[in-house]
Amino acid sequence: MRDRVPVLVAAGGETWEAPALRALAEASVVVLKRCVDLTDLLASASAGTVGVVLVSGELAGLDADAVMQLLRVDVRCVAVGGDAEALGRLGVVEVHPVDDPAGLPDAVRRAVRQDLVLDPEPGPESRLEVRADRGRTVVVHGPAGAPGRTLLATGLAAEHARRGAPTVLVDADPHGGAVAQHLVVLDEVSGLLAAARLVNAGGLDARSFARCRREVTPGLEVLTGLPRPDRWVEARPGVLDAVLERASEVGDVVVDTGFSLEDDADLGRGLVRNQLTLDAVAAADHVVAVGSAEPVGLARLARTLVDLRDLAPVPVTVVVNRMRDSLGWSRRDILGMVEGYVRPAGVVFVPDDRAAADRALVAGRSVVEAGASPLASAVAELHEAVLGGAGQPVKRSSAGRGRWRCRRP
């Protein structure tokens, strides 16, 4: 941590500016420039000489686009005053009260400590080495309603590693990942955000990417996801493409995604919260579409299959999760519904084995590690359908990645 912290200030004429400047100077926080407005602030920050900007929470024009521009040059935003919840959603690191200018130096230093992760602290040494051939990328996706994406993604990755295949599990859920909690990966630094900052700085090589991952079991390493949902703005478009390229160098890749394929760019919004999910599906060699077996879950699954049909020109395996006799319909009934929307590579039915799922979640292990069960057997069947063969990745040019978009029927 540097003793002298360089910052930019854009107070917008607020009365707290003068006492704040005195407090910053006394604490060896160097104010490189007092910016007249947001445009001046963004232009000055682009020079790359600061790590934090101090702004008025009511600064004209301050929005998610502006915060994203700052994040792209590794600059963190601390606001003074304003709506803390709304500013947090924009990606502002901290909102400081107007009546406490003396506490601003500590707020600035907290911002630097919290987010300066260009060189992550070394964890357990990675045992996965760069290979000559690239691995396959399997993306696990499903609609809203918690159909079991993360449970099946962790199980699929664990089963693949158990069979001796080097595997990287990537948590790319932009609404707040749960892979770390599922597998009890205790890590203060998000692997995804650490990798994102390395990509922004042009420094994501094999060695630095290895430090971003954490080993769960021999042959299975995890790139943990967003620690809070509001941090999605830090993973700019293109970050996941670079991450998945690196991950495929050391093994097959399983990606846990978010629930939405909506492209906010179609609504005229500059930032797309679902970009991580869209980029993951665009980069997939195989998509696993997960839906739950009850009526609402199947209706949501049907809409998702329509989206995937237009979005992902790759094989799609459908998983109908929590299948149970009490629903009153047969597998043939559900299979007919699925085939009415998409020609799947396969359909796998996963039983409603609550006991096995609870045992795995409480123990912080995948369903594969939690012992023999109908659920574990279904995960093994899914693995055979998706990763059991010797199929090779679909050949794509890098220019094609991330450019497919949903076309609503």
pLDDT score of 46: 87
Would the pTM of this model clear 0.85, i.e. be above it? no
Residue 108 has pLDDT above 80, yes or no: yes
Which pLDDT band, with edges at 50, 70 and 90, does 87 fall under?
Answer: confident
The answer on 166 and 62 residing in a single domain is no
Residue 53 has pLDDT above 60, yes or no: yes
**CATH number of the domain within which 68 lies:** 3.40.50.2300
Is the CB of residue 135 less than 8 Å from the CB of residue 53? Answer: no
- Percentage of residues in the chain having pLDDT higher than 90: 60
Written as six digits, the tokens of 54 are 């101090």
Please check whether residue 126 lies inside any domain of the structure: no
Which pLDDT band, with edges at 50, 70 and 90, does 267 fall under?
Answer: low
pLDDT score of 271: 61
* Number of domains forming the structure of the chain: 2
The answer on 266 and 321 residing in a single domain is yes
The answer on 370 and 287 residing in a single domain is yes
Residue 118 has pLDDT above 50, yes or no: no
Tell me which of 89-93, 128-132, 195-199, 302-306 is least confident. 89-93
Say how far apart CA 161 and CA 158 lie, in whole Å: 5
pLDDT score of 329: 86
The answer on 210 and 147 residing in a single domain is yes
Q: Which three-class secondary structure string do you get for 229-293?
A: HHHHHHCCCCHHHHHHHHHHCCCEEEEEECCCCCCHHHHCCCCCCCHHHHHHHHCCCEEEEEEEC
Q: Which residue has the higher pLDDT, 238 or 44?
A: 44
Contacts (Cβ under 8 Å, ≥6 apart) of 86: none
pLDDT (average), residues 167-175 = 96
**CATH number of the domain within which 307 lies:** 3.40.50.300
- Percentage of residues in the chain having pLDDT higher than 70: 88
Residue 398 has pLDDT above 50, yes or no: no
